[in-house]
Structure 1
Amino acid sequence: MALKTGLKQAFISQFGFLFKNWGIALISAGIFLVLSLIAGWFPDGCSMLLNEETRTQGLKLVSTSVVLLLSLVVLGRILYSPLRFDVDADKPRKKKVLIWFLSKPWGTKEEVEQDVRKVSEMANNLNIQDIKEAVNGLKIKNWRMALDAIEYHIPKLERVIVITSQESETYFDLFKDFIKVVFGKTFSVEKFATVDFENGEELIKILDEKLFQFLKCLGYKDREVIVDVTGGQKTISIVGAILTVTNFDREFQYVSTNNYDIKSFNVRLVTDD
């Protein structure tokens, strides 16, 4: 299994961009075919040039090989355009699934339990905006952005998928209660995995190879899912960018800690044309 994984990673890192879609794959196959012909014809032609009887045929093979090689070089130079990263930042489209990374709150578990009870009491008398303002004064104030992130996607939202760290894992049930007392049961709140928020490789594996595949099995398309990178470590923001580079249907969003504005980002590798 380790050997298979290693071979897969080596192939993708060196040649993955050549097989990004069927169009690029067919062009790549054509180029490989031409290069294979050149690699066979050129040495054979050079050998034939040494024999007077086969010199004419050898000259044709060498000439054809040189013309094909020069044609590839000229075509490549004509089509060449520098690649650059283009960041598309805008308000996100409403999504059915929100992926949230749960940060550990500031208080102890007992203090967090008390805060959730306070929010539950507020929910009967205050609107969501007032609740958000009140949460800013509690130990769970770093969960306030989750309210903004979730509220934005209602009523389309169907699932909030939570990924915890080892430090925040024990707070998931309280976070779930916190979200439910504010928004009710219009959507589900589910824990998917516990990971190291500073381990980029593990985060990519959980999201790309497991979570997105799991959601696809449930019938969700990538464009119906958004990854929120507000919680957790800065590594999560990097992972969000990587995921959108490899798939144009994916977006990640961020809730501003200044004005609680929500922006979505889609990072693309594009040419200057």
Structure 2
Amino acid sequence: MKQFHCLLTLLLLCISHTATATGICWYDGSGPVKLYVPEKASMVVKVASQMFSDDMLAVTGRKSITVPEKNATIVLTQLDRASAAQRRQLSAKGIDIKKLESLTDGFSIITDNKKIYVTGTNGRGTAYGLLELSRQAGVSPWVWWGDVVPQPQNRLAIPHGYTTMQGASVEYRGIFLNDEDWSLRPWSYRNYDKSDFGNIGARTYKRIFELLLRLRANAIWPGMHTGTKAFFRTEGAKAMADSCGIVIGTSHCEPLLRNNVDEWNHKERGAFNYITNKDAVQKYWIE
């Protein structure tokens, strides 16, 4: 009898563990991952959904597909573009909307009724939340830049009752492209994004911005060495930054988003000196 009780206890534990481990399956090997992306979502959410689709191709062999909310396993919501009814529904599912909205570029992931709900405070937060699922599926942020190949999976699941709420502790988080002359710039214009000398093209910037999204960064200070074309004179670069939710800053001697090394012409404008050449400097900034 004692042995029977031990076996019964072990069986119950196994059943309990199996049920817990099973969780909500968002890929079972029989079809593509189904994702709902709100029509009114910011462009960065749509960029992230395309990245996610490529990630699923790498992990499962199939791109994810976008479907109506009722048919989706993963449901995205961008709070700053959500209706009052949607906000009430999310609150009813247990999301602390007030707390979430207090976070910088925050996101929440919860499970409810066989669905995974990814809710962001804004476009960036929603993108971060979706790409967190990519990370949980085994996709490294360095999947492209570092050639980190994801391991194929025949099943992806998340535990029942799973919940996380995350946000940034720093308002602007990013990188400064420094010493671009010897590496990034020649690689871009000679190979990946072939163009004129000195140009880091929009296609290259897109890859940089995708990495920043995966790392939950939101800012970049572009290269500004002699010979590098100014970011805002690079065709498509600003639009690419906007689509990825990236803020552009300038550094060193680069006031008011001008790139003095590339944009200030001494022969035409005179010295870059506010004391002796105030009108020309102000006109340059106004431009």
TM-score, normalized by length of structure 1? 0.25
TM-score, normalized by length of structure 2? 0.24
- Pick the structure with more helix per residue: 1
Q: Higher relative contact order at CA 8 Å, sep ≥6: structure 1 or structure 2?
A: 1
